[in-house]
Amino acid sequence: MTKCLVCSCNKTMPISEQTLGQPVYQALCRHQVGDFLQALESPDDLVVACTQEKPLFQALAQEKPQVAATGLRFFNIRETAGWSDQAASATPKIKALIAHASLPLADPVPAVSYTSQGRLLIVGPASLVSQAMSGAALFEGLVPTGLVTELDGALPTSRARPVVTGELVGLTGFLGQFKARWAQRNPIDLEICTRCGACQQACPEQAITVDFQIDLSRCKSSRDCVKACDVVGAIQFDRLNDEREEDFDLVLDFGAAPSFTQPDPPKGYIHVPPSQGQAQAMQALAQLAAQVGEFEKPKFFKYEQRLCAHGRNGKVGCSACIDVCSTLAIGSVFADGRGRVEVNPNLCMGCGACTTVCPSGAMRYAYPSADRIALEMRTLLKGYTQAGGQAASLLLYGETQELGGAWEMLEAYGRLAQQKRAPGLPANVLPLSLHHVASVGLEVWLAALCYGAAEVTILLTGQEAEQYQAALEKQVSVGREMLRLLGLYPEALRLVTIAKAQDLAGVWPATRQLASSVSEPGGFALGDDKRTALETCLDYLIRKGQPKAQPAELPAGLPVGSPIGGLHLNADRCTLCMSCVGACPEGALKDGGDRPLLAFIERNCVQCGLCVKTCPESALSLDPRLAPLEDRREAVTIHESTPFCCIRCGRPFATKEALRAMLLRIGSHPAFQGEAAKRLEMCGDCRVVDMVEKEL
C-alpha cells in the first residue's frame, strides 16, 4: 500500500478533497505537520506531493525516533499542474501524477564506486599554479602537486607541497584513478632541488633564474652548475625529455586547451581557461574538495554481446554507441575477427544515448529500464484518462541540470505562472522525468502513442551534447516517417529545444487540436527486447491506429539510419559465396543448406551493414524501409542459382556464378592452361586425382 499526502500550498492551488477524492492539506509543512509525522508511523510507502519542502520533511523523518513508513519520496504537482491558468481543469492531471508517484520503486541497479584521497594535480602557468596551490590549503582533504608548464611568474619557494616543471604529454582516467605523464623540459629537478643557490653562484652565464630553472637559450654548457650540485644531484642535462608518470585523484587544468576534449570530461577533472583562472580558481577548488572520499553511482547500462552488431571478420559494422558517447566511455574491441564494444562504467555519465541508438538492443538502459518507463507512461496515461482527461500530451524531460535537464526551467515556468507572467503547463500536458532525455528512443515514444498519448514531446535545453541532439533528431525523423506511412499524424512526435523558462509558453499553442493515434489504449508491457518492442508497437499502431490520411503502400522507404529495413541484392554480381551469412550477427541472412540459395528475414535485420562490407562482389546494399509486418517475419529467398556439377564425377560443388567468378580471377594462371583448364570445372577431389594422373 502507498499513502499519498497532498497539500494545496496555502490554498494557492484550486484543488479540493471532493474533486480529488482524498484529503487535501493547506499547510502540511507548517501547522499540519503533525499529520505528516503521524503518517510516518504507518508501515505503508509514503509519498508527499511537495518538492519545495522536501529537505524539511526529510529532516523531520530522520529526527523521529520511530518511523515505520518505507519508501518516503516526493513529487511535484504545484509547478507542473496547480500553478497554471488551466489549474481549475487539472484534476485529471493531478490524479495521474498521484497514480504515477504511488508506483512501487524501480528495482535497484548495481553500483559503480569511486575512491578519492584528494591527491590533486594542478597544471598550468606558474602564476595560476602558485595561486591554486595556496588556495588548496584552505580546503581540508586536498593534497596538491603543481605541474608548471609555463614560467610566467615566480614559483613557490616553500617545499610544503611538491612542484615540478615540464610539459603534460598524457592524462587518462577518472575520479580517483587519473594517470598523468609529463616530459621534463629543464635539467633542474625541483623535487630534488634544495634552493641553496650554489648553482646560481657557479653559473658563468647567469642562466639560472630565481625560480631555479635553467634558461637554455643562455646556457653555454659549462656544466659548472652540475659540479656545484654534485652532492644533491638535482641537475642532470641528460634527463631532458625524460617522461615521468604519477597517479592522482583529481585534476585542475589551467592549460590553454583542455586535456580531455570530449564534450563531457570525466568526474574529478576541471578545466579553467587561463584567462579565467584567477576568478574561478577558488570555485574550482571547492568543487574538487567536494569530490574527496568514497562515492557510488548507478551502473546505468546492460550489455549483451551476443546481440551486438559491432564487428565480424575484422570489419566494423555498427558503431552507433561509440559515435554518440560524449564521455568516450565506449571503445571497440576485436578478438579473432569478432568485434564487440566495451564500456568503462566509471566514465559513463548515464545519458543512455548509446542504448537509444543501438539498433539491436545489445545495449540496454537500466536506470530505469525501458519496460519500467513504459509502466510509468501507462500509469500516467491510464490515470489521466480514467479521471476524465482527454488528448494527453506526454512531456519527456531530463531531471538533472548538470546533464542538461529541463526540470529547473519547468519549475521556474510554474512560478512565472503563479505570478501571472506565463500561462503555465496546460492541463493535458503530463510531465515524465528521465535521468537524461536521450535515454529513451523510438520504441518508447511509439509505445506512448499506443498507450493513448495524443503526442509525445521530447524537451531539450540546448545544453545537451551535439551528438545527442543529432541522434534524437534522427530517431524522431524515422518515427515521423513511420507514422506518415501508416496514415497517422507525424507531428505526434516532437523534439523541442528551449533556452529559458519563458520559451515554454510557445510549445503548446492553444489553437492546436490533438487526438489519440489509437482507437483504444494498449496495455502491453514493453519488455527488455528492443526489437520485439518496436515490432509490437508497429503492429499495434497498424491494428488499432486511427489513420488521419490514406496509409502508404508498403514496403516504403525510411530515412537513412533507420533500425529496420531490407537489402538490395544485385543478382548479376552475387556468387552465393555466403560470406554475408557468416558476417550477419543477427541471423537475418540464411543459406539454403544443400540448395544454392540465399534467404533473408527482414525482421532480424538491424541495418548494421556488415554484410555489405563483407561481400567480395559488392552485390549488397542497405534498403531502410517499412515493409508489411507479416512479410518481415518470413524468410524470403533473395537469390537462388543452379548448382554446377563436376564434369568428372557429376557431384554439385559450386554455382554457375561462383565458377564464372573463379574463371575470371584465376583462369589465366599457368596451372590452368590448355587441357588443365578443365580442372576448374572439377570438384576439389577430382582436381587432385586429375593432377596425379597427368603426372604419372
- For residues 186 and 145, membership in a common domain is answered with yes
Distance CA 64, CA 62 (A): 6
Same-domain check for residues 376 and 361: no
Domain contains 106:
no
Q: Max Cα separation, the chain? A: 111
The predicted structure's pLDDT at residue 65:
87
Confidence label for 512 from pLDDT (cuts 50, 70 and 90):
confident
The answer to whether residues 607 and 499 belong to one domain is no
Number of domains in the chain: 6
Count other Cβ atoms within 10 Å, centred on residue 696: 5
Q: Domain ends where: 295, 319, 334?
A: 295
| 508 and 588 part of one domain | no
User: Looking at residue 672, what is its pLDDT?
Assistant: 67
pTM: 0.89
Which residues are within 8 A (CB) of 439 and not within 5 positions of it... i.e. 6 or more apart? 350, 351, 352, 353, 355, 356, 365, 367
Kindly report the CATH number assigned to the domain that includes residue 315. 3.30.70.20
**Dihedral through CA 236, CA 238, CA 242, CA 246, nearest 10?**
-20
Give the CATH number for residue 599: 3.30.70.3270
Give mean pLDDT, residues 618-641: 94
- The reply to whether 278 falls in a domain is yes
Does the pLDDT at position 149 exceed 70? Answer: yes
Q: What is the share, in percent, of the chain residues with pLDDT greater than 90?
A: 79
Q: Are residues 243 and 379 in the same domain?
A: no
What does the pLDDT read at residue 218?
Answer: 92
In-domain check, residue 551: no
**C-alpha cell read off for 376:** 510509468
pLDDT exceeds cutoff 90 at 46: yes
pLDDT band at 157 (very low <50, low <70, confident <90, very high): low
> What are 456's strand-pairing partners?
394, 493
- Whether 341 and 313 map to the same domain: the answer is yes
**End residue of a domain, out of 544, 568, 583:** 544
Residue 670 has pLDDT above 90, yes or no: no
What pLDDT digit, counting tens, does each position of 74-111 carry?
999 999 999 999 999 999 999 999 999 999 999 999 99
Mean of pLDDT over the chain: 93
Range of the structural domain that residue 279 is part of: 115-295
Instruction: Report whether pLDDT(661) > 80.
Output: no
pLDDT at 667 over 70: no
> Are 177 and 259 in a shared domain?
yes
Co-location of 510 and 581 in the same domain: no
HEC states along 353-390?
A: HHHHHCCCCCEEECCCCHHHHHHHHHHHHHHHHHCCCC
The pLDDT > 70 percentage for the chain reads 98
Cβ–Cβ under 8 Å, residues 300 and 350: yes
Supply the pLDDT for residue 296.
Answer: 95
* pLDDT tens figures, 443-465: 999 999 999 999 999 999 999 99
* Nearest alpha-carbon partner for 455 in 540, 381, 557: 381
**What integer is the mean pLDDT of 160-177?**
93
Is residue 98 included in any domain, yes or no? no
Specify if 94 maps to a domain.
no
205 and 127 share one domain: yes
Q: What pLDDT, on the 0 to 100 scale, is given for residue 671?
A: 65
On whether both 163 and 276 belong to a single domain, the answer is: yes
pLDDT over 70 (residue 577) = yes
For residue 611, which phi and psi values (nearest 5 degrees)?
A: -65, -40
Pair 453, 479: CB distance under 8 Å:
no
Residues 339 and 242 in one domain: no
Q: Which of 43, 74, 105 is where one domain is finished?
A: 74
Mean pLDDT over 681-691 rounds to 83
In this structure, of 217-221, 357-361, 616-620, 679-683, the range with the lowest mean pLDDT score is: 679-683
Burial environment of residue 143 by CB neighbours within 10 A (0 to 12, 13 to 18, 19 or more): middle
pLDDT score recorded for residue 177: 97
Does a structural domain hold residue 96? no
CB 248 within 8 A of CB 172: no
Average pLDDT over residues 372-384: 98
Residues 127 and 239 in one domain: yes
Q: Over the stretch 402-449, which tens digit does the pLDDT of each residue have?
A: 788 899 999 999 999 999 999 999 999 999 999 999 999 999 999 999
- Among 64-68, 114-118, 289-293, 471-475, the minimum mean pLDDT is found in 64-68
CATH number for 175: 3.50.50
620 phi, psi to nearest 5 deg: -115, 150
- Grid coordinates of 605: 535485420
133 inside domain: yes
| 85 found inside a domain | no
